[in-house]
Amino acid sequence: MTTTGTDPARASDPARAGDPARSTATHCPYCALQCGMRLRPLPAGGPEPVEVLERPDFPVNLGALCGKGRSAAAVLRRGARLTEPLVRDAGARDKPLRPASWDEALDRVAAGLTAARRQYGPDAVGVFGGGGLTNEKAYLLGKFARVALRTANIDYNGRFCMSSAAAAHRRAFGIDRGLPFPLADVARTDCVILVGSNPAETMPPALRHFRELRENGGRLIVVDPRRTRTAELADLHLQPLPGTDLALALGLLHLLIADGRLDKDFIARRTTGFAQARAAAMAHWPEHVERLTGVPVARLAAAAAMFGDAAKGMVLTARGPEQQSKGTDTVSAWINLCLAAGKAGRPGSGYGCLTGQGNGQGGREHGQKADQLPGYRSITDPAARAHVAAVWGVDPAALPGPGRSAYELLDGLGRDGGARALLLMGSNPVVSAPRAAHVTERIRALDFLAVSDVVLSETAHLADVVLPATQWAEETGTTTNLEGRVILRRKAVDAPEGVRSDLAVLHGLAARLGVPGGFPEDPEEVFEELRRASAGGQADYAGISYDRIRDEDGVFWPCPGEDHPGTPRLFLDRFATPDGRARFAAVSHRPAAEEPDGDYPLFLTTGRVVSQYQSGAQTRRVDELNRAAPGPFVELHPALARRLGVGEGELLAVSSRRGRAVAPARVTDTIRPDTVFMPFHWGGAGRANSLTNPALDPVSRMPEFKVCAVRVERAASASAATETAATETER
């Protein structure tokens, strides 16, 4: 495989492949590819306890690993991670955290949660999870919230990632699985439209499938306001204004209709609602869409022809179109394009979402979302409540109803009617949440905060109790990758003596809260219960076992029985709707929640860089990755740089109605002149999410991370940056 930049996905090398007799087959702890790797224990006393080796037999990455995966063992170092519980003495928020025993730490957490419940009621306790938690942890965390705490207020950071695509998927197809086909199918189609995704940097090993697509004669269309490394591979790059992806999709559908490229037979046999979707699209004629998006009519026509004329085709979206206040409608418009062209429910065709977080798929299936129960069941469905309650041995009436979505939960912290105590596992909202300075203020307003994590993140620094959790190499558990393939991470090495798993944390807390049964520490025991709880649901894991996953290198859900082969490809016979037909959505373009004006004349969009991951809490502790990506930056066009009178590396201040961030300029002609880009991996002065807009999609409750209005000016000095960081954190 061809390498990409400073963080290449390295092709399989037999000399680097692990000896099965001396190494453990497992998976990467980072993105939703969940790349296969092997871990070989190293002699005690070295800097790292294991060595990462390639695993050429896993079909998603075939041995290729990006720099994050290759260096993952560095976070196991003692100096990089937590190795003992930490507490802050009661009433001493201004004092530092100090080491404590596990009994003291768990007693403090139980007391803090109990005090909030007694004073304000059960919903005064909040639970915030993460898309990196294993299925077992996500499942047990949801059960803990609803059975041990009896709170409705549980949600997770996956709400910030895939929720709009999930809502649109359910709206159109009746079920949400990121990719309804294996990732390898990408190389076997004829045309892919890749919308708001940059796998060359976000998941480099996936790039091989897009390269193979091109080598096989297929065409690649990339939609992105930036000319990314992925866009440079495309046959056609459409560079729309941020926040106009919905208009773009509608314009392409208009052209399919006008140019006679519809699959009328497919529409008649396998869909409903086309007449209304057609009427909405016809209001978005090419010249109008050009004015809205900035994409020339000729390029719109070329894209429509390229996709419409292909025998097979796919549309794949990521956070670009999804992290918008109209993200669900935007994804629905791209799904409409697939349905109108007959490119869904057939081999080699379909719509898919490139899930971001490591277990972003499984993490939303089994109960840590505010509105869901295990198996992707609705918490308001009486039959779903009865089924899950029977597995849990509780009265269905005792289960809480839906709670607040992620940002709404964070926004209500410390307020009347909101959570006054919070248990947080595997998330870092001080860096990752929109309007981050405000979220930091709300976290500080809590009566009590407990954080369970691998590292002392920016959020953990604010906690009353910090619990050190085991990492991927130190525990066994399942995750579900972006294809819907349930895989098994296997324990390869013991954790340091002072570290426990999140399952052990929940077990210990449940006992202290008077619920001694139902919270096992053994992950396989938890998974066996998850199988029963998910049985009959949309995300049905009933036929999946640890043994099957080991034998088959992962099993695709739904898999309702042990004799069922799993479902690599959904929708080939029917869609998961009551009538078996896919549903068009009649959607129309509307502006972003915040558009540029005289005070804030530019667009800001945010995203990732190849050598860091999410909030950077783990990757920023790896020297190799920090050398490649040492800090935040502001990417801007040379024309804008000339207008501001700044050069490469000079400090820029970026301001929005919510805050200010300061970072060096990175001048490049790969971005639109009316747009600036910032990566979101850092806190402090360069925290991009100090600027972002928490305006929510009305369906998915996804915040509008991907577009807001900003002002950019030269920063007065480096000291101003430091001052700004302190001010933002203290608000």
Q: CB of 556 within 8 A of CB of 568? A: yes
Which residues neighbour 201 within 8 Å (Cβ) at sequence distance 6 or greater?
Answer: 4, 5, 7, 228, 229, 230, 608, 609, 610
Residues 593-652: tens digit of each pLDDT = 999 999 999 999 999 999 999 999 999 999 999 999 999 999 999 999 999 999 999 999
Cα–Cα distance list, 704 to 77, 594, 604 (Å): 36, 9, 11
How big is the CA angle at 35 (ends 319 and 168), to the nearest 5 degrees?
30
Residues 463-513: tens digit of each pLDDT = 999 999 999 999 999 999 999 999 999 999 999 999 999 999 999 999 999
Question: What is the reported pLDDT for 233?
Answer: 96
Question: What is the reported pLDDT for 481?
Answer: 97
H runs (alpha helix) in 310-381: 319-322, 327-340, 360-363
Query: Given a cut of 60, is residue 730 above it in pLDDT?
Result: no
Average pLDDT over residues 723-729: 40
Ranges 74-83, 169-178, 456-465, 467-476: which has the least confidence: 74-83
Q: What is the mean pLDDT of the chain?
A: 94
- Three-class SS of residue 675? strand
Confidence of residue 213 (pLDDT cuts 50, 70, 90): very high
Query: Given a cut of 80, is residue 5 above it in pLDDT?
Result: no
Residues 707-720: tens digit of each pLDDT = 999 999 999 744 44
H runs (alpha helix) in 174-296: 199-202, 207-215, 245-258, 264-270, 274-282, 286-293
Q: What domains does the chain contain, in order, with CATH numbers?
A: 8-80 (3.30.200.210), 86-161+359-556 (3.40.50.740), 163-353 (3.40.228.10), 602-730 (2.40.40.20)
Residues 654-706: tens digit of each pLDDT = 999 999 999 999 999 999 999 999 999 999 999 999 999 999 999 999 999 99
Residues 355-394: tens digit of each pLDDT = 989 899 999 899 999 999 999 999 999 999 999 999 999 9
pTM equals 0.94
Question: What is the reported pLDDT for 356?
Answer: 87
Confidence of residue 22 (pLDDT cuts 50, 70, 90): confident
Residues 288-315: tens digit of each pLDDT = 999 999 999 999 999 999 999 999 999 9
Question: What is the reported pLDDT for 333?
Answer: 98
Q: Identify the bridge partners of residue 602 per DSSP, sorted by sequence position.
A: 710
- Three-class SS of residue 634? strand
